[in-house]
Structure 1
Amino acid sequence: MNPLLDQPFSTPFQTPPFSKFSTADFKPAIEKAIEEAKEEIKAIVDNTASPSFENTIEALTLSGEKLDRITSIFFNLNSAETNKEIQKTAQEVSPLLSEFSNDIVLNENLFSRIKSVYDHKESFNLNEEQQELLRKTFRRFTRNGANLSEEDKTTLREIDKKLSKLSLQFGENVLAETNDYQLHITNQADLAGLPDYAMDMAQQEAEKRGLEGWVFTLHMPSYLAFQKFADQRELREKLYKASGAKAFQDNERNNENIIKEIVSLRYQRAQLLGYKTHADFVLEERMAKSPQKVLDFLNDLLEQSIEFAKKDIQSLAEYAEKTDGIKELMPWDHAYYAEKVKKEQFDLSDEELKPYFELNAVLQGAFSIAQKLYDISFVPNQQIETYHPDVKVFEVKDSTNETIGIFYTDFFPREGKRAGAWMTNYRNGSKMNGVHKIPQISIVCNFTQPTKDKPSLLTFNELTTLFHEFGHALHGLLANTQYEALAGTQVSWDFVELPSQFMENYCYEPEALALFAKHYETGEVIPQALIDKIIAAAQFLEGYQMSRQISFGKLDMAWHAVEISDIEDVDAYEIKAFEGTQVYPKVEGTNMSTAFSHIFQGGYSSGYYSYKWAEVLDADAFDYFKQNGIFDKATANKFKTLLTSGGTVDPMVLYKNFRGREPQQDALLKRVGIKS
């Protein structure tokens, strides 16, 4: 029997038995699971009893569980441990999954039963969570074509098939471009300025590739180290341009036509469903509600930050000219001179901080903070299988020592892993009919690897990234809902970043840092003087950072919130979208959109603004903690309720229940130094 179909898995906590299956098992397992799920749907449709919440809505949400498990494993591997065979399988199964999804939402008889329950909901005595599941189920069908004609349903199916394949191809192209590039250095003089860890890492990369000397890549730990510290400006420029040219070159991996096709299909899909644009369709179910509100939000923040951004870059430009005679500051100079000015202005550098942020100690610190806030603990479990030796597993236990979740960590870059950092799941939590299916949550990152001589020491940015993803993980691990479909991060996309960005605040708090920020050699707790510098430097270049994030949000909206006509030139369109937000000159041969995986491969289309939106929420929320104490139990209990509720309650209601009012921008603007 196919091991993927032998469910529930006979493993600790029903975790995936990675060693038992191979890539070849996935396609037949997915095909079989689709057939089984179709039978479950047929049983709902053929039920002769009157439609009820239990025999229709609940039965639907519980259907396809085996398929969900298999696909979660498969697509997680496609992101974190992919290869040509997995990518080929992804291209083959994605249209099948898209078609099956459409088979459900376009099933007239099934929708008829759902509509009957929805129309008679007052007679079913539903609790709050059941009401929300009913509302979301009904909206899922109406928003995805249940009311379309047969001809339009066929068109919708074709669009969704094409989109699923194009999205995969976009990501594969970006990953291939990232993996293939190398900056091979054989002259040691070209390494001037680089710290030992960066040279060690580059030497190991060269050895791995069978080369002499040093190799730098487009993977973030390698790329950022070079951009921050390498004195050779020409080589920084070369690496920057290589990164900016990903999937924008004249080869088979160029993503320009893929972008045009994706945005055109998304626009057609929205029109077919009765929406003006793709953004109108997406935002209807978000806190923001409309493209205009998003644009007003972004433009308001831009207006308040752009002058600060210009001053930030002007100060760097003056420093670069004074110290090195640089006449025009360029993007490949940014990280280099920012590091130097930060060191000079605040007497602070990543190299000074890194010894205090040893990866394992940081992770234990994150665990300690979660324990103080939410009364949970993390216990290593080496019996649970993983897909790679780098992956570690922890049981998450509550105050009664009951296991409430499984937590995977995967921290280092490798060829089969896409860039960036993310939280994902192998199963969301649920509590149905007295059975507690505990969540299985993973965070995947690309941090600086240990070398022969040193453990993994994190930059401050990597530290906040770990806490960010851990915040997402807590959202999933603390789930306390009846239904998996409403658990953890199954919330509005412009609300989902609140728990993650909220956790980043603890990286600046002396009381929290004292728990884990200890020198990896001496055990000395990070000195207060360094913490003071971290806090003082927190506002450094924040005007620039804010305008940069806003520019990405505006680019996303430019692709998705307008009536799409024929776009001839992706680069020219991007330049226009960036107008008013850019503080550096345009670099020919580089393009953001062609590697903008968040919106063309991930789930952030029409949603990139949510990072800034959630920053307003997180600053306002943490300000409340600061007023009461960053580990105050009563405040933490209220925030824990927000986390455990998942998508069972409207996010604005959840926030107001926690804070006592709607969020306000002041705390964020003060935090970044734009308001006093």
Structure 2
Amino acid sequence: MSIDYCGIRIVLVSVALFITITAILASLRFGARSSPLLSYLKPSGASTFSTSAQRPLLNSTMAPPQYRKPPQLPPRFTATPESLIEDTKRLIARSRAVQDDIVKSITRETANFNNTILPVALDDNKMSREAHIIGFFQAVSTDKKLRDASTEAEKLLDDFVIESSMREDVFNLVDAVAQKKEELDPESARLLEKDHKSYIRNGLGIPAGPKRDRFKEIKKRLSEISITFQKNLNEEQGGIWFTPEELDGVPEDLVASFKKGEGENEGKVWLTFKYPDLFPTLKYAHNAETRKRVFIENENKCSENVPLFREAVLLRDEAARLLGYENHAQFRIEDKMAKTPKTVDDFLGDLRGRLAPGGKTEIAKLLELKKQDLKERNVNDGSESKYFLWDHRYYDRLMLEKDYSLDQQKISEYFPLSTTIQGMLKIFEELFGLVFIELVGADRDALADGGKGSDIVWHEDVQVYSVWDEESAGAEFVGYLYLDLFPREGKYGHAANFNVQSAGNDENGVRRYPATALVCNFSKPTPKKPSLLKHDEVVTLFHELGHGIHDLVARTKYSRFHGTATSRDYVELPSQLLENWCWEPSLIKSLSHHYSHLSTEYENEYKESSGADKKPAERIPSEMVASIISTKHVNDALFNLRQLHFGIFDMTVHTPASHEELEKLDITTLYNRLRNEISQLDGPEALSETKDWTWGNGQATFGHLIGGYDAGYYGYLSSQVYSTDIFYTVFKNDPMNGKEGRKYRHAVLEKGGSKEEMSILEDFLGRKPNTDAFFKDLGIYK
């Protein structure tokens, strides 16, 4: 993403700086590499797994000597609102000076890669090590003043990005270098090619004068819109007061954690729109009116984003036409793997045609279940012939329980967050040849560069790990991994991976190491229970760490190409690939650890709440694992049709026949009408005689399309094609094959965006990727 959403920002002192900062700030805006929508992730795969994930991870107090002293200190999160602005201005001044010096001392005749492109790229590397953190505070800080300063700093960086990307004096020198066709190493050649093209794509292809001025004005306004849109989402504080009776069916321990009402709301509880509150309510609340109200009001949160979304779509279209493109999608997709909007539209249309019959069949079965449920509960509300949007999570869950004996609450008891993370990291140690060392106690102090251990994290809940190569591979340092897993006020509201510091070489050729953060919103522990993960949340964890691993192990010279800085229709591949491991029976069992085994207190609480006289076995029962595996493709067509709604809406608003047509477009109506036509689920429009499509503004909460996935949301589905091909071809028969895992790490993940993405896949697979495994996994055969 969501948000779910979802890059890195750096600025080629000209365009490299522009691209870099663009990536940096884009990533910070929607959560860098976010999942499509937290609990809508659907993975694939199944097979065997060794039990090594049961071994505990090391922490810094017991790590072997070779893993005790990282060669690079972690960043410190001690900024103040004032220092963020000062540091931003310092970075901008330094980068502007690099550009000015090049223009003063170099001519077209003397320009070459080393004196024109390289100084900018090295400054980009420096920029990315500081600018990412400056922008990161707006997503995670508890201090509103610091978040506001981070947002202001991002605006300053964006303005500088636009200024840099439109410096004709710098572009003339870059153009001269491009014309000379020097012999360069492949990554440097790609850098030159990308930078040269980016100046043109960022306005220098427009003759100087009013049109170019207008283009620059549009770019600045789009930056403002993007920043404000995501800030509105991050700081959204909406919710609904409900009586406990209206929340009948919602897990009692969750309802007990809600804020209690006073005065006119005495006896009620406050339900927020944050995921840990929202999703369980939609899944478990028996009262359809409660679910309907929650669904509709959630769709209408952040109403201030409605005009911002419309303005962004119009400005993008205008800018693309100024550059000579037919529409914004043509402009955006030209630089992706798909290359043309037609390729994307054909892919989405083909998939829609294949999935639509399955969607009808699934809805028919769910509607029968709804009729039976209403009859059993003696509910006569006249809705038995309609399957509504607010019905789906509820009856999807009920079907899993009734037909597949899948009780997500019971399953979650076997996946305490702490032990699940430990097991997950052990899997990646075995697969990729990594070692994770949690930094605790005095060892944090030792890495705080004279400060306190708390300085190397931004909140007391955050865990931090140093990551290394295994001893047999040299025990070299890889980077830092942060886990920020619980919701809090002002924090980014979805699940995402953020690059905190990019890697890349400094001016002396010395490697600088990355730092990456998983930012999620899982339920917080209570006095009676630890944080417990449902299976789809385990999948989310694997998905986001897939981005994190990509970020950590990338080995590129230029931060411009580091890790997840790839094309949007490829970037989800590593994260989606790792979802497959969540459907391996032996892995599921190995990851499991019933929470009653964590402590005597938890054991006693379990016995009291369950009425059992003893705690269950530590590992999840085989029959429960079988139930999980059997549900892998249940209602899969509806899930993918929902993803198609997002992708087709995205393409529709970004491919109008004319700008005038776009100005007349009712975006809210389009969003809701397409959802009904594609997903086949009814909304409130089905309850009105006039088919009113304006009941909700879901696009106002769609951070992906403002934060970097515009004309690119299809990438979640196209990346799934590539990742499924890799899994079936390389890993399905032996998912924990460390030899293949290391080969994948070195051949794919290490490359980042330093090579054409399709060539990376072809080199690894030994052939062009194809869709066979993807459709086979969905149960669709050509």
Post-superposition offset of 1:271: 1.2
Residue 396 of structure 1 corresponds to 467
2:483 maps to 1:409 = yes
Residue 176 of structure 2 corresponds to 116
2:296 maps to 1:241 = yes
Matched to 1:112, the amino acid is: N
TM-score (norm 1): 0.92
Post-superposition offset of 1:14: 4.1
SS in 1 for 2:752: coil
How many residues get paired?
652
2:408 maps to 1:342 = no
Residue 56 of structure 2 corresponds to none
Q: Is 1:200–1:451's contact at 8 Å kept on the other side of the alignment?
A: no
Give the RMSD, CA atoms, in angstroms: 2.3
Post-superposition offset of 1:296: 0.6
Deviations 1:602-654 (A, max 9, x none): 11101100001111111111112345411223322331120001111111111
Matched to 2:318, the amino acid is: Q
1:379 is aligned, of 437, 449, 452, to 437
2:250 maps to 1:194 = yes
- Structural mapping, 1:73-472, within 5 Å: 73-81=133-141, 84-86=144-146, 88-89=148-149, 92-121=152-181, 123=182, 125-151=183-209, 152-176=211-235, 178-181=236-239, 183-186=240-243, 188-202=244-258, 214-248=269-303, 253=304, 255-325=305-375, 326-327=383-384, 328-382=386-440, 383=444, 385-399=456-470, 400-432=474-506, 433-472=508-547
Q: Distance in 2 between matches of 1:115 and 1:475?
A: 32
Q: Distance in 1 between matches of 2:534 and 2:622?
A: 18
Post-superposition offset of 1:159: 0.7
Quick one: structure 1 residues 132 and 568, their matched pair in 2 at CA, closer, same or farther if it must change by over 3 Å? closer
Deviations 1:385-425 (A, max 9, x none): 11111111100010233221101111111111122111111
Matched to 1:287, the amino acid is: M
Matched to 2:256, the amino acid is: D
Residue 509 of structure 1 corresponds to 584
User: Structure 1 regions of 5+ residues with no counterpart?
Assistant: 1-10
Q: Is 2:85–2:153's contact at 8 Å kept on the other side of the alignment?
A: yes
Q: Distance in 2 between matches of 1:672 and 1:418?
A: 32
Post-superposition offset of 1:223: 0.5
Q: Is 2:568–2:712's contact at 8 Å kept on the other side of the alignment?
A: yes
Q: Distance in 2 between matches of 1:657 and 1:118?
A: 27
Matched to 1:171, the amino acid is: Q
Post-superposition offset of 1:67: 4.4
TM-score (norm 2): 0.80
Post-superposition offset of 1:526: 2.1
Q: Percent identity?
A: 31
Matched to 1:23, the amino acid is: P
SS in 1 for 2:490: coil
Q: Is 1:543–1:674's contact at 8 Å kept on the other side of the alignment?
A: no
Post-superposition offset of 1:579: 6.3
Q: Distance in 2 between matches of 1:137 and 1:450?
A: 48
Q: Distance in 2 between matches of 1:202 and 1:401?
A: 47
Post-superposition offset of 1:236: 1.4
Runs of at least 4 residues of structure 1 off by over 6 A? none
Post-superposition offset of 1:450: 0.9
Q: Is 2:139–2:234's contact at 8 Å kept on the other side of the alignment?
A: no
SS in 1 for 2:580: helix
With a CA cutoff of 8 Å and minimum separation of 6, indicate the structure with the bigger relative contact order.
2
Residue 564 of structure 1 corresponds to 659
Q: Distance in 1 between matches of 2:100 and 2:512?
A: 25
Q: Is 1:426–1:441's contact at 8 Å kept on the other side of the alignment?
A: yes
Quick one: structure 1 residues 114 and 82, their matched pair in 2 at CA, closer, same or farther if it must change by over 3 Å? farther
Post-superposition offset of 1:64: 4.9
1:612 is aligned, of 692, 698, 717, to 717
- Structural mapping, 1:649-668, within 5 Å: 649-668=755-774
Post-superposition offset of 1:572: 2.1
Matched to 1:586, the amino acid is: G
2:704 maps to 1:598 = yes
Q: Distance in 2 between matches of 1:305 and 1:279?
A: 24
Q: Distance in 1 between matches of 2:106 and 2:228?
A: 44
Q: Is 1:412–1:448's contact at 8 Å kept on the other side of the alignment?
A: yes
Q: Is 1:353–1:459's contact at 8 Å kept on the other side of the alignment?
A: yes
Quick one: structure 1 residues 64 and 372, their matched pair in 2 at CA, closer, same or farther if it must change by over 3 Å? closer
SS in 2 for 1:150: coil
Bigger mean CA deviation after superposition, 191-200 or 395-404: 191-200
Post-superposition offset of 1:28: 2.7
Post-superposition offset of 1:87: 5.3
Residue 728 of structure 2 corresponds to 623
2:613 maps to 1:519 = no
Post-superposition offset of 1:71: 3.0
Q: Distance in 2 between matches of 1:101 and 1:274?
A: 22
Q: Distance in 2 between matches of 1:225 and 1:648?
A: 42
2:678 maps to 1:586 = no
Post-superposition offset of 1:66: 5.1
Post-superposition offset of 1:65: 4.9
Q: Is 2:88–2:134's contact at 8 Å kept on the other side of the alignment?
A: no
Q: Distance in 1 between matches of 2:232 and 2:554?
A: 35
Q: Is 1:94–1:161's contact at 8 Å kept on the other side of the alignment?
A: no
Residue 6 of structure 1 corresponds to none
User: Structure 2 regions of 5+ residues with no counterpart?
Assistant: 1-69, 376-382, 449-455, 598-616, 686-694
Q: Is 2:675–2:681's contact at 8 Å kept on the other side of the alignment?
A: no
Q: Distance in 1 between matches of 2:81 and 2:266?
A: 31
Q: Distance in 1 between matches of 2:490 and 2:272?
A: 14
SS in 2 for 1:409: strand
Quick one: structure 1 residues 313 and 591, their matched pair in 2 at CA, closer, same or farther if it must change by over 3 Å? farther
Q: Is 1:305–1:543's contact at 8 Å kept on the other side of the alignment?
A: yes
